[in-house]
Structure 1
Amino acid sequence: MLVARSAALFAVAALFEIGGAWLVWQGVREHRGWVWIGAGVLALGLYGFVATLQPDAEFGRILAAYGGVFVAGSLAWGAVADGYRPDRWDVIGALVCLAGMALIMYAPRGE
């Protein structure tokens, strides 16, 4: 149950962080204005809050593991929102990152 909760929190965190960064990008690079930028900044702040809800207490472990989710999520977001088509190396790299995330976050520890 803790793994499912943790994975769900990672997914929500990715939605806020990647979505927030995308909104800022749209506001600045695509000239959509301050409303988009403001919404992005708000989403990025929510990402920081969601990260604190992880069941593990180690900040470094959570942020390191989240990096794998961020890599895979960013490629997926680009494919859905911007029509980017990841090639096989993008996909393999994302899978390697997700495997690293799983090792960092969910490996049995003898602590």
Structure 2
Amino acid sequence: MTYLRPLLVFFLAGLCEIGGGYLLWQWLKAGRPGWTGLLGALLLVAYGWVATWQPTSFGKTYAVYGGIFVVMSIAWAWYFDGFRPDRADVLGGMITLLGIGIILFWPRS
């Protein structure tokens, strides 16, 4: 459970930020209705709030979240926009996840 909670919070924060940014993008670039942009803005505010649920410091939280954002953005684009990740995208995502694991879970003295 020690590892699961922070990962779930990062995942929820990623959904809020990527989803919010996506909805704003849809409103401003794809001509979606104004409520789409408003919902996106609310999700971005929720992202800022959810990120504070992490027990780590601001710097560590945002460093790790940056890696989560990279991987989730590739997955989001694949699912919602039909982007097909190639081997380099997958390898880069795997390396990013390894870095996240080291930063977040490496034993410290």
Give the alignment's Cα RMSD to 1 decimal. Answer: 0.8
Partner of 1:19: 19
Matched ranges for 1:1-111 at <5 A: 1-56=1-56, 58-110=57-109
Secondary structure at the residue paired with 2:89?
Answer: helix
Aligned-pair identity (%): 44
**Structure 2 unaligned spans of 5+:** none
SS at match of 2:53: coil
d(CA) in 2 for partners of 1:36, 1:2: 36
Confirm or deny: 8 A CA contact 1:17 1:47 kept in the other structure: yes
Which stretches of structure 1, 4 residues or more, deviate above 6 A after TM superposition?
none
**Distance in 1 separating the partners of 2:83 and 2:8:** 25
Aligned length: 109
| 2:26 partner SS | helix
Following superposition, the deviation at residue 34 of structure 1 comes to 1.6
Q: How high is the TM-score relative to the length of structure 1?
A: 0.95
> What letter corresponds to residue 105 of structure 1 in structure 2?
L
> Per-residue displacement from partner, 1:67-96 (whole Å, max 9, x unpaired)?
110000000000111111111101111111
